Structure 1
Amino acid sequence: MSYRYKVASIFLLGFFVDCINIFMSAVALPSLSITLHVSSASVAWVANAYILGLTLIIPVSTWLAGRFGSRGILTASMLLFTASVWLCGQADSFHELVGWRFLQGIGGGLLIPVGQALMFNLFQGEQRAKMSTLVMAVALIAPAISPTVGGIIVDSSSWRWVFYSNIPFSLMAAGLSWFWIREAKSASLPRPDIKGLLLVSAALASLLLGMSLYGADYPAAAALSGVATGLIFVALYLLHYRRCSHAIIELNLLKSKKLSDSIYVYYAIPGVFTGVNLMAVFFLQNTLQFSARLTGTFMIVYAAGAFIAMTISGRVYNRVGARRLFTLGMLLHSAGIATLMLVEAPGDRWIIVIAYSLMGIGGGIGANTAQTTSLMDFAGGDTHKASVIWNLNRQMSFSLGAALFLMIFNVLLKYLDITAAYHATFALAALIGLLPLLRMRPLNPAKESP
């Protein structure tokens, strides 16, 4: 195997670990909520803490790789991930679990941007598009397998084994990183922007906290103050960015239409889907009394539709163009979410299958197109910087999507019965998933990009 394919294998394995960690743990949240005696709004912090860890470390991951070497950083990241996963399974309290999830996010956040930048700098032009398709294939295989496996684990054993099951994969990624990655350190490196990093992390933490509190059993003032504080930190970062020559997030790269439009679409499709799927998990298990195993199997339907769509969209990308594929993906994805509004009883399984099929097809088209398009304007060092933005966006979209729709559901639950509240949440999600259509701009086809 050539060196560049070894690098690609390590990144894809690490990406797989990251994906199964997100989707396998989601199916366990209802059981975890009951065991640890926390509300559905609070249990979302099992995911939020992981995202905050990622947010803290992703922006400095490139600097750490340059300072200490890619091989050492990639190996250390997966060893830290392994240790924290074990500690998550050992947690005896909710707050303890949240703390270890934060540490787990730090471990996962080191591998993804460093591995992706290494891989994309070894594959250029149309080969980069092919590697993007492989990345999305992993992003589909993991959600297809992990919820079903996670459901079986929860039904037959304990939510703790949902975390333990990550360990073989993370240890494999650590070993391959140590033996396969060629060591390379930069001769001179600018100091990392710690102030900017703290501002970004504080902004995300405050926004997530505000959305988690709003609609739950907390005063509205506390929730609004959290959101307001988050917006203040965003404004402070914008001021800091203008004065800093090496800002932690290089916002100037967002002038790339390919990157910025891909980010909007990623929030509208994978981001919205993460929130919708989380709500569907609680709806199917707690309201319709489906088992965790049965709930997880619907993701196989999603992945099958997404795989077919991804394969076709990857082949026609250069001829059709990103804008048309983005539009089609969002329309189909939102149609699938809207179909969930028709689910009323346990016997409506075929409606759920249709809904997840449409979401899978739309999601496969939109997410694959976004992954392919996002970094096409960049090369060399800019690829690392753009990779940081892209991976922060990818992870934040998952967490913000979950927090947003949990907040919406909790607010609606005060005025509607539980089934109607779920249906209204799905309706709003379908509309939110179409918002990028209002600002979609023409994008040059991939073959015109460097």
Structure 2
Amino acid sequence: MTYRYRVATLFLAGFFIDCINIFMSAIALPDISRQLHVSESSAAWVANSYILGLTLIIPLSTWIASHIGVRMTMMASMALFSVGALCTGLSTDFNGLIVFRLLQGAGGGLLIPVGQALTFSLFQKNERARISTLIMAVALIAPAISPAAGGVIVDHFSWRWVFLCNIPFSLLTAALAWWWINAEKTTAQRPDLVGLALVSLALAALLMGMSLYADATNPALPLRLVILGVIFAALYVRHYRRQPDAIVDLSVLSNPRMRFSVLVYYAVPGIFTGVNLLNIFFLQLVMGWGASETGLLMVLYATGSFGAMSVCGRLYNRVGAAKLFLTGLICHAVGIALLSLVGADYGLPVLVVAYLLMGIGGGIGANTAQTTAMIDFTGEHLSRASTVWNLNRQMSFSVGAALFTLLFNLLQQHTTATSAYHTTFLIAALLGLLPLLTLMSLNKQPESLCNQKEN
């Protein structure tokens, strides 16, 4: 195996472990909610705290790699992840579990942007579609096997093993990083700590506000947190305009392909994460399904995604991104809308069609977005774009989970649980079509990279 494929393999291994932690942990949330006596919206923090840990560390990853080297960064990433997974699995209270998930996320977040930037730098521009296809293949395989495996673990052992079973894989990845990666250092400027603090506080306040609002008897505190999150976000924009070395380079969003791909990630993987989380609770708490049965639905999603991804890779250069985005978003939205029909009269057949359609739409949309987002970036701009893209990817998962659990809890106060689930699914389907309003932006010529903000 050549060096560049060894690097790609390690990056994909870290990405695989990251995806497993999102989808496998989701299947365990009903059990965690019952055993630790927390609500559905609070249980979502098992995922949110992991995402927050990723968000805190991703902007620092390039700077850390410039000081200790790429090899040591990748090793440290998986070692810290392993410690976090061990402590999470052994946690006896919910607050401790959340703290250790934050640590686990920080560990996972070190490897992904460093590995992606190094991998893309080793492949020519016309070869990146192949790497993007491999990335999406991992993004499909992990959701296919991890919920089903997690369901078996939860039903026959304990939700704790959902976290503990990751440790052998993360330790193996750390060992391979030591053997395979060259001991070289990159160059990076001192990180923008003020910017990092503002970004982290904005995300944390927004997520906490949405989570607390669902269970709060007095909405004043959650609303203040949401307002505070918006203020921190506005302060970061102001800080970015004055700081030449801002930690998140918003200038990459001036590229229409990157900007549209960011929206698509909220509309496809982001919305799906929230919808799938609610459907897990719906099937287990309302329909009486087991964790194993619920987890098997992701095999259908992955099957649809794999077929779509295989076709998408060949069609990208023939039909263009716009037509693929249109097809993917519509299929995904129709699949989500079908979930609103699931009940006593319509069960398994509707779920099969819904998850296949969501898989097809998700495979087309996410794969096309992954290829399109960074196709215009090279060199230092590629590293900046990689940081923004990975932050967006992680944030879309967390925002999707928080938004739709909030929406469900608000609807549940005025109707039955089943009706609240179904209405939430319909709203999610409509929101998933919103990027189509700006689809024509892909026809604009990308702004010259040399005109983007320089560090």
Q: Mind listing any 5+ residue stretches in structure 1 that lack a counterpart?
A: none
The CA deviation at 1:219 is 1.4
1:245-299 per-residue CA deviation (whole Å, 9 max, x = no partner) reads 1000001111111111100000000000000000000000000000000000000
Structure 2: segments with no counterpart, 5+ residues:
450-455
Is the contact between residue 321 and residue 445 of structure 1 (CA under 8 Å) also seen in structure 2?
A: no
CA distance in 1, matches of 2:444, 2:241: 32
Q: How does 1:22-421 map to 2 (within 5 A)?
A: 22-186=22-186, 189-345=188-344, 348-421=347-420
Partner letter of residue 152 of structure 2? I
Give the 3 Å change call, closer, same or farther, for CA 177–117 of structure 1 in structure 2. Answer: same
Provide the rounded CA distance (Å) in 1 between the counterparts of 2:91 and 2:151: 20
Cα pair 2:70 2:186 within 8 Å, conserved? no
The number of residues matched between the two structures is: 447
One-letter amino acid matched to 2:296: T
TM-aligned CA distance change 1:113 to 1:147, over 3 Å:
same
Shift of 1:442: 4.5
- What is the alpha-carbon distance in structure 2 between the residues aligned to residue 433 and residue 53 of structure 1? 27
What does residue 9 of structure 1 align with?
Answer: 9
1:117-144, Cα deviation, whole Å (9 max, x unpaired): 0000001122110010000000000000
Amino acid at match of 1:291: G
The one-letter amino acid of 2:316's match is Y
Taking only the aligned residue pairs, the percentage that are identical comes to 58
Tell me which amino acid in the other structure corresponds to 2:359: G
Higher mean C-alpha displacement, 233-242 vs 437-446: 437-446
CA distance in 2, matches of 1:302, 1:179: 35
The C-alpha deviation readout for 1:79-98, integer Å capped at 9, x for no partner, is: 00011101100000000000
TM-score scaled by length of structure 1: 0.97
Deviation at 1:444, TM superposition (A): 6.0
Question: SS at the partner of 1:185?
Answer: coil
Give the match's secondary structure for 1:440: helix
Secondary structure of 1:190's partner?
Answer: coil
Letter paired with 2:78:
M
Greater mean alpha carbon deviation, residues 269-278 or residues 321-330: 321-330
Residue 332 of structure 1 contacts residue 359 of structure 1 at CA under 8 Å; is this kept in 2?
A: yes
Letter of the 1:68 partner, please give it: I
Residues 445, 123 of structure 1: CA spacing in aligned structure 2 closer, same or farther, 3 A cutoff?
Answer: farther
Q: Distance in 2 between matches of 1:373 and 1:218?
A: 44
Q: CA deviation at 1:443?
A: 2.9
Q: CA RMSD in A?
A: 1.5
- Name the aligned partner's letter for residue 295 of structure 1: T
Task: Write the distance in 1 (CA, Å) between the matches of 2:36 and 2:214.
Answer: 21
Amino acid in the other structure paired with 2:271: V
- Residues 135-162 of structure 1: CA deviation (Å, up to 9, x unaligned): 0000000000000000000000000000
Alpha-carbon shift at residue 66 of structure 1 (Å): 1.2
Which amino acid counterpart does residue 91 of structure 1 have in structure 2?
A: S
Deviation per CA, 1:377-430: give whole Å up to 9, x if none. Answer: 111111111000000000000000000000000000011101000000000000
Deviation, structure 1 residue 181:
0.7
